Structure 1
Amino acid sequence: MVTEYLECRPCKKKLAAWSRDILDQLDPSHREQFPAVLTYRLSCDREVVRLLRGRTLGNSATALYRHLCLRHKEHYLGQSTLYLSVLRNFVTQNTDPSSLIAALPQMVPVPSPSWLLSVYAREVLTRLPELKARVTSVYGSILKMDSTKKVTKKLAGHAAGTAAWVTDVGNEIGQVLMCVLTEGEGKGLLPMCSGLVVRYRRAGEAPPQVLYVDRDCCSAGDKGKAAAMFSEWDQLVVRLDVWHFIRRIAVGVTTDSHPLYAPFMGHLSACIFEWDAGDVERLKEACGGKPTAKELARHCRRRTRGAKETKELIEQLLNDFMEATDTMGVRLFDKERMEEIWRTQQPHIECIQDPPGVQLYRRIGR
């Protein structure tokens, strides 16, 4: 590969003609003709960089490094064989064979996996406007906002301890609209919420119908704190995510390794949801018999039973399991704790119901 070095007169910095600072001054059609990504000393073919884009559990930078080493070694051995076969024609009786082997060029080592990752990061920066446009073009009519601390605990280096929460906003088909790192929930999420509202307004998209949250779904006033953060969306209905409601009830269980834990959680889910009768009948006609649990989950919708029926069923379930024990006499519930949890969670039963006209293909879980 041949190029020229351009030197800046004031700072004496040298730049290769293929470097990004030079290529950015060209139009896209000419810029795409350059087949390599340059670093300070080495260059990497863009075909290799493309192999890093779809990195998964079995397609890491280390795996690509091993694959490149194998390919380079095979190519080196093939070229060495050709070199020696051609050189044999010039061998005489006085020629020392060891001198021929000594003249064999050495294979250039493949750069390390960390260098491959650095090249990939450099290439991603060139596509940053495109990636930003693609990410900010995601919308949805049913949103879910959830926060967790698990991701921030994995931050290392200078980023460690700089954030306490990670908050994601996704739509009904699992796409992520926005992800932010904050020091706290509540008011700390106001810039994110304002940004979502502005994004919808600028794109001319209809505001979402429903927002599922893990907290602040309701309050003593007309609107909860979550709805107040999206005050511009007057028709937005805020609901508590059922998975978080179930986890709040499960806090009253003595241990999740209890033999009765799984049956209790299954019955608790059945107290909240019911299968759509029309979908079940059509599935029975298609299967010609009783469908399995996997077939129901794949082809049928589930809807909430209603606040009154849900409350009665959960109360009956708690009464049935309140004195339940395993073979060693260990109770499933901490009775006093479960009674307090149920007292505080009863007002949220209305918040977990499906809004009128909204029915989702859903499962319990993240």
Structure 2
Amino acid sequence: MLKLKNLFFPLLLICVTTLIGCNKNTTSTSEVLSRTELFMGTVVKITLYDSNDSAILDKAFDRVAEIESLVSINEAGTELDKVNDFAGISPVEVTSTTYEIVEKGLEYSKLSNGDFDITIGPLVKLWNIGLDDAKVPTQEEIDSVLPLIDYNLLELNKEDHTIFLKNKGMMIDLGSIAKGYAADEISHILTENNVNSAIIDLGGNIYAHGIKPSGQDWNIGIQNPFSTRGDIIGVLKVKNKTVVTSGIYERYIEKDGVKYHHLLNPNTGYPFENNIAGVSIITDKSIDADALSTTVFAKGLEGGLKFVETLPNVDAIFITKDNKVYITNGIRDSFTLENEDFTLEN
């Protein structure tokens, strides 16, 4: 019996003092302008706290739509779709947007020694977790696609702006990094239009742009991964930072009583197995946080903590399956545990 969980269930909750009403997709008051749309397979919400200029939101959402039209592998005819179609045949010239995202993805594939690998596309398509045709593949099916996953066989030519997958059947999947790129692009647009106080939310990829209108830090509530949305384990104070979470309860399928989450190990072909229920990365750029949330999850608790501590200006919050919370040194003064069901470990 196969069960599919395909619900938007981010592990982050934005806690802001300003209450936002609902009027279709856009809410506007003298202080707040907010719009919510569906892009890149997730709910995208942008809330401006110091501007009533809806044209800014138009620019931001147009940019997100453009990014999706270039790098989605679930829509035929995108640039990334063409790169995948020409795997083992020839390099494909792409726009700077597609090239930049793939280039950053390759950088993190190398940094993680393949724990994070953007050529994981064949395996992602095989499982299709989060889509209607999700399934638990056979071992034979998994064995057939594992040789196609190897970031060392991805060739970039910066001068020509081309991308080449050397073996036929290979496939790039940017699902673990493209939302972060989009969040950063939105933030750039807001800065260019003199917005200094905003929240950008791409399905759990949170960008706290600037500071609150009051001058105070934003309060980011870290969601309890074992409970309904709105039940938080604690609050993190940030300003002009991004907070991105990966967790086993976001998307999964269930077969014969076994749950298979969407964070797939490119070496085994199955979901990563460790004691982490969720990990949140805090840093300056969302594209970095997006890639790192998957990378750090893959390394497990001990390895993930050590890895994060080696990275400049990067912090993390780990929630384990036994309700323990671990945080890195850089946020010890800005994170407060508020749920008695969890314990904060030293």
TM-score by length of 2: 0.20
Greater RCO, CA 8 A, separation 6+: 2
Which structure has the highest strand share of the two? 2
Which structure has the highest helix share of the two? 1
Q: Which has the larger radius of gyration?
A: 1
